[in-house]
Amino acid sequence: MLNKYTNSAKVFHCPEDYVTPAAFYGDHHLHFICFSGSGSFVCDDTEHHFKKNDLVIMQGDAGCSDLVFSDDFSCVAFAVPRGSFNTVHNSSVWLASGFIQTKRHPVTHLKDDDLDLIMNDFSGIERRMTPTSDYGRQSFYHTFQTLLYDMWNIFDREVSLNGTAGSEDASLCFLKFQDMLKAHCYKERTVEWY
């Protein structure tokens, strides 16, 4: 199963390889860092804008539309086929949390250290794109996991620091539920209690 994803995942640059990453959206989850220019898209009836040094995560099944890129747009992008998160990620709780957070807050500005970190993750994935053995596939798998954890950690931190999640925000509610579950799961097991 992992071969399917390593063979059809792509790290690419725009506009050198593709004019924009838009052609991959829908069949793939898109992760890209804007190097220049700007753009926007709509997700859940909310318009999101991105600019230089913004990290954008567009889940392939999140229903994003109206992708627009400026003429001077450039980026590095990682496109991975839909369905791959279930294979690459070993915890359905954290997978759900990351999905909810990035669907509600798909754009975050990267500070220099975070930019370096994500660029290193992209480079590591690119170097491992064509594994020739089980060891190579596992290396790709774990490098992809590292990228996910790094991105979700940045998004989570920025949402918390900037107060962009309101009290009714689904991602914040889910994170609070996770914390309660971790703290009380041995004693409290009813839906009503939570």
pLDDT digits (tens, 9 = 90+) for 88-105: 555 555 556 666 777 778
Radius of gyration of the chain (CA): 17
Beta-bridge mates of residue 78? 11, 31
pLDDT digits (tens, 9 = 90+) for 37-52: 999 999 878 899 999 9
Residue with the bigger pLDDT between 175 and 138: it is: 138
Residue identified by tokens 């399917």 is: 4
Distance CA 131, CA 56 (A): 27
Give the pLDDT score at 135: 87
Spell 55-93 as b/e; 16+ CB within 10 A means b: bbbbbbebebeebebeeebbbbbbbbbeebbeebbeeee
Give the pLDDT score at 12: 93
Distance between alpha carbon 59 and the CA centroid of its chain, in Å?
7
Residue identified by tokens 């539920």 is: 177
Give the pLDDT score at 172: 62
Give the pLDDT score at 31: 92
Residue identified by tokens 């992992």 is: 2
